[in-house]
Every structure is written in structure tokens, then in C-alpha cells.
Structure 1
Amino acid sequence: MLNVRRVPAPLLFVAGGISMYLGAAVAVWLFAELDPASVAWLRQLGAALVLLAWRRPKKHAWRGRVFWLAALFGLVTAGMNIFFYEAIARLPLGTAVALEFVGPVLVAAFGSRTRRDIAALALVIGGVLLIADVQWAGSTLGVVFALAAALLWAAYILVGKRVADVGLGVDGLAVGFAVATVALVPLAFGTGPVWSSPELLFMGVGVGVLSTVVPYVLDQVVLRRLGQASFALLLALLPVTATLIGLVVLRQVPTLPEALGIAAVVGGLTLRSRETQARTEPL
């Protein structure tokens, strides 16, 4: 049986990125039937149901400070997903991804302590912008939604690290997503067509598994090993993964700037200084 704790963090990110972008493709199909916010709620519901059935969190996870921390994490994550879906409904995916990276880049910048980290961060920023090929002429509202998602992505990293540090792990995800699903239930009114179509319902649950359960569980594994700054820099592997999926699945050959961007991101990840790894615990 594979021990995920022995898998290098970059490989875990690639696996999570592949799953996340496959889920995003399914979500785009659902946009033809549902509004983006409703798809985001359906994603949250699917993830909550799967995680609750899998983990069955113990009573202590539903009480006191631990519960409120998990609830905050769930709400931040749900908000991030809602704003991102609203953004990609108005902007090209590459543009929205580049704008959303403002969040983790800010976390990495505040967490950097050496010139080497700053140089690595500069390479990553340049690489992400080259890959995404930002088009500032897009929808103003889309840009606002993407930047809102960016701020919540930064909060996701900060709160997610605390969830991992207190030992909640995947149980914290289950509790948090359940709370967010209930709190945002008004968005369920836009999911009407799903309940009369097994195919759409299956796709909705699939988005939750592919875009939330798999990548966020892997996030919790990696967050226990790394500091917030290193985690934020590793997130730059996501647009690299998206570019490779576009090449293999959609036959989208990268342009020269995109290829240079991939090289810059890989160079930044290689250049960054090593941090003392945090202790790891079983999920």
C-alpha cells in the first residue's frame, strides 16, 4: 500500500493539480445547466458527503475551538470556490488563474526571509504570468471576482496550516465542508435541474471529489511538512500542470512564453531555500 508521507511534495501537488483541473472541466460542462455559484455549492455538498462517510469525525471535532476553526476553514474554502467559478464564467481560465495567484504569492512574499527566497519568488511570479498570458481587457467584474478568490486563497493557506497543525487533518475538512454546505444552502435553489437528472447529479458529486476531496486531502498532507511560504510557492505547479493537461488532453501546444514560464516556475521552485520539515502524522 502506498504511503503518501513518503511521496515528494511536488509529486503530490501534480497529482492534486491533475485531479483539480479534471474537476474544473466537469464544472464548465455544468455551467450550461447551472449558474457558477450553484455549481460551487454542489461541489461543496459532494465533498462534504464523501468526507463525512469516509472519516466519520469524532465528537471532539464538533466542539469548541476545534469546531470553529474547521468551520472557518470550510467557509473560506467555499467562498474561494464560489468567487473562482464566477471569475472563470467571465474570464479565460488562464487569466483567472493568474489573478488568483496574487493570494499565494502574497503569502510567499511575507513568509520569505532570504534573498534566495525573494529571487525564487520573482521567478515564480514571472513564470505564472507567462503561462497564464494575462489579458487585462477582460471583464471588470470577472477581475473583481478573481481577486476576491485570490484573497480567500491566501486565507485558505493560513487557516489550512492551523487546521493541519492542531491535528484535525481530513476530519477538519469533513467538518468544515459540512458547515459551509449548510451555511450556504440558499445557493441550492439554483441546482433544480440536477435533482431530476442522475447524470448531472453524478457530475456534481464528481466535481466535489475531483476538485475538492483529492487535492485538499493532499494539501493537508503537504501542509504538515512545509511552512506556509514553501507551500504557496509549490502552488505554482498548478498552472504548470494545467498547461501539460492542455497539451495532452486538449492538444493545446504551449507558446514560447508559456514554455519559458514553465522553466521559470521550475527554476524558482529549485532555487528556493530548504526549510526544516515539520513533523508528519498519519491522516
Structure 2
Amino acid sequence: MTGPQPRADAQAAARTGALMALGSMFCVQLGVVAAFSVFDQIGPDGAAWLRLTWAGLIFLVFVRPRPLQLARRDLLACVGLGVVTAFVTILFMFAVERIPVGTASALEFLGPLSVAVLRGRNRRAAIWPVLAMVGVLLLTEPWRDSVDPVGVALALGAAACWAFYILLTQRVGDAVSGLQGLAISMPVAALVATALLGGAVIPDLTWRHVLIGLGLAILLPVIPFALEMLALRRMTTASFGTLMALEPAMALVLGLVILSQQPGVLPIIGILFVVAAGIGAERTGARVEDEAPPHERENDPGDPGYVVP
């Protein structure tokens, strides 16, 4: 069925999804600020491992996954999401240890930007990812510092994982009701992180570090990843990827408010670019009927796949 009302409903859902994405980005940036404040105590490997392990435990206990009730392909998608979640977290943490966070953020944004460009169906909407990328470059000014090639490679790896994370998050969110997908993927991410980092981190942990990790995990990834999965049920991956350009702008604003970091002229211009791109992405971000998950299309509470919006 098509017409003004379904279109209006889709646009309203896209606006809700955009607000969820903004809430996610805010938590992410608070989590980044908090992580930097304790890097000297737990290091990037400790921060990554504690975040993922606590997140896995939280989802395991409070959501209680039911993997045996899923189709095999849906379960594999959840596992794949867990693997890329672990790698995007670990790679970015090690990248910012070697290169400036602005440079790492600009490089990592190539992931969602690629999704926005490749998955966009509206040719006129292609201007928003381009505008967003220009804004991100102006915001982060990666050319101002010497760059470690290993750090660049780590950031590009995080970008690739972020692209797959967006695609898999929408795939899992469409196929698995509620937060069941995250309840499976996050414990998988914790297992991957433990296999890669646990041996180096666990022997040096203290109870203080464990409690710090709990706070970091709630800010990132527990709240943001839940919001992103809900947002991607309401938005296209192209618009979501473009909207992520607002994250560096939000980081700059929080840096000004919390850390008293004064932005230059180019970052201020960059904010205007990414805000314009974010508004454009939100307005063109509604998922059409054939893109929406079955439970969103039917919206029938009697349907076993129904999810409360």
C-alpha cells in the first residue's frame, strides 16, 4: 500500500531513527572522552577488552539471548556482527594510540561514507555524503600532523569494520526482534576480544579497573549500539552512514564544553557542512516499504515477528 499516510509514517520513523542515532553519537563521544582520561591506567587494549566484556555480560544477563530459536542464517549474521564489533573497537583504540584522534576519526569515517555512497538509491541525495566528507576533513584537519603508517592502517581497518557493522546491524535488526541480536553479537565480541587481548590485560586488572570498565561499557557500546540497531530499523543504511558525519562535530562541541578546547575557523566551517549533510540525510532517510523489516511493514501485534516501535 502506498500513499500520503504510509509516506508520512515512514518519514516520522526516519526522524525517530535520526534522534536515536544522535543519542548514540552523544554517548559514543562521552565514552571516548572518558576512555582517554584512563588510557594511562588501563591502556587501549584494556579499554577495548573491558568495554566489550562488560557489554557482553550486560546483554547476556538482562536480555537473555535465545540463539536456538533463530534461523541458521540469522544466527550467523549475529555472530558476524559480533566479530566486526570486536574488531572496530580494538582497531580504533590501537589507532588513536599511534595517530591523532582527529586523523583516526577522519579515516574511520570512510567506512560509513562508503556505505552511504554505495547504498544510496537517490542520485540527488548523493550530495550529502560528499558534503559530509568535506566537513569531516575540515573538522579533523588530518593534514596538520605527521602520520604513522601503522596507525593509518589500523584506522582504515576500523573503517572497513564499521561499514560491515552498519550493514550487519540493519540485517540483524530486521531479522531478530527486540535486542536479541545484540544479546548474541555482544557476547561473541567479548569472546573475540578475550582471545586477542585477554592474556595481556587480565593479569594486570584491579577492581578499580573493572569498575571503570563497567562505566565505559555503558557509555560505549551498550547504549549506543542498542540505539543504532533501533535507528537502522527506521532509516536507510545510506542516510545512517551520512548522519554519522555529525559525530566529529559533536566531538568538537563536547571538547569545547568539557575540555575547553577552542576550535579554529576550518573546524567551525566543517561543523556547518556536516550539520547540513546530517539534515539532508535525515530528510531523505525513510525506508520505503520494500526495504522495511516485515514486522515494521505489517505492524501487526499478532505477528510472531512483531516488534514494538
TM-score (norm 1): 0.90
Partner of residue 264, structure 2 = 255
Choose the corresponding residue for 2:171, options 153, 162, 166. Answer: 162
Partner of residue 92, structure 1 = 100
Partner of residue 39, structure 1 = 47
What displacement does 1:251 show?
1.2
Q: Deviations over 1:17-74 (max 9, x none)?
A: 2211222223223321334233212211010111112111225357733322111100
TM-score (norm 2): 0.83
Partner of residue 218, structure 1 = 227
Native 8 Å contact 2:14 2:285 kept in 1: no
AA aligned opposite 1:109: V
Choose the corresponding residue for 1:178, options 167, 187, 190. Answer: 187
What displacement does 1:173 show?
1.0
Distance in 1 separating the partners of 2:184 and 2:97 = 29
Distance in 2 separating the partners of 1:96 and 1:6 = 29
Choose the corresponding residue for 2:155, options 127, 146, 165. Answer: 146
AA aligned opposite 2:56: A
1:121 to 2:129 alignment: yes
Distance in 1 separating the partners of 2:86 and 2:192 = 10
AA aligned opposite 2:105: V
What displacement does 1:8 show?
3.0
Native 8 Å contact 1:45 1:205 kept in 2: no
Partner of residue 117, structure 2 = 109
Residue aligned with 2:129, SS: helix
Choose the corresponding residue for 1:74, options 56, 79, 82. Answer: 82
1:190 to 2:200 alignment: yes
Q: Deviations over 1:105-162 (max 9, x none)?
A: 1111112233421222221111111111113622111111000000110110111110
AA aligned opposite 1:210: L
What displacement does 1:170 show?
1.7
Distance in 2 separating the partners of 1:155 and 1:190 = 27
Counting matched residue pairs gives 278
AA aligned opposite 2:308: P
Native 8 Å contact 1:94 1:134 kept in 2: yes
Partner of residue 9, structure 2 = none
Distance in 2 separating the partners of 1:52 and 1:62 = 16
Native 8 Å contact 2:14 2:286 kept in 1: no
Partner of residue 254, structure 2 = 245
AA aligned opposite 2:199: F
| Larger mean Cα displacement after TM superposition, 78-87 or 112-121 | 112-121
Q: Percent identity?
A: 34
What's the C-alpha RMSD, in Å, of the aligned pairs?
2.2
Native 8 Å contact 2:14 2:235 kept in 1: no
Native 8 Å contact 1:14 1:241 kept in 2: no
Residue aligned with 2:235, SS: coil
Native 8 Å contact 1:62 1:175 kept in 2: no
AA aligned opposite 1:49: L
Native 8 Å contact 1:61 1:67 kept in 2: no
Residue aligned with 1:251, SS: coil
Native 8 Å contact 2:82 2:189 kept in 1: yes
AA aligned opposite 1:192: I
Distance in 2 separating the partners of 1:30 and 1:63 = 41
Structure 2, unmatched stretches of 5+, are 1-12, 300-306
Residue aligned with 2:42, SS: coil
Native 8 Å contact 1:26 1:203 kept in 2: no
Residue aligned with 2:284, SS: coil
Choose the corresponding residue for 1:266, options 270, 275, 279. Answer: 275
